[in-house]
Amino acid sequence: MSPLPEAELVRSSVQLYRYLLRCCRRLPPGPVQQHYRHAIRQSFKVHADEDDPERIQQIIKRAIEDADWVMNK
């Protein structure tokens, strides 16, 4: 089960970014939420120059799986 029902609709990096930030809103406020928001921003900066569509889809899939793990933790 995905953290939010929109997970299967994520197709682009911008959609993924918005989806992950919405997931962060469901985390307890404070340091935990700030940590994951910062980690999301950093990951997008690191992968900003990625142009291979297959690799982008792999990153999206992995990010959703990771978000699911964090939300269930």
Q: What's the pLDDT tens digit per position in 24-51?
A: 999 988 999 999 999 999 999 999 899 9
Query: Does residue 36 belong to any structural domain of this protein?
Result: yes
- Where does the pLDDT of residue 11 fall: very low under 50, low under 70, confident under 90, or very high at 90 and above? confident
Query: Does residue 1 belong to any structural domain of this protein?
Result: no
Total domain count for the chain?
A: 1
Contacts of 24 (CB under 8 A, 6+ apart): 33, 36, 37, 40
Query: Does residue 64 belong to any structural domain of this protein?
Result: yes
- Mean pLDDT, the chain, rounded, equals 88
Phi-psi region of 4 (alpha: psi -120 to 50; beta: other; left: phi over 0): beta
Query: Does residue 2 belong to any structural domain of this protein?
Result: no
Query: Does residue 30 belong to any structural domain of this protein?
Result: yes
Query: Does residue 11 belong to any structural domain of this protein?
Result: yes
Whether 3 has a pLDDT exceeding 70, the answer reads: no
Query: Does residue 26 belong to any structural domain of this protein?
Result: yes
What predicted TM-score, i.e. pTM, was given to this entire model? 0.82
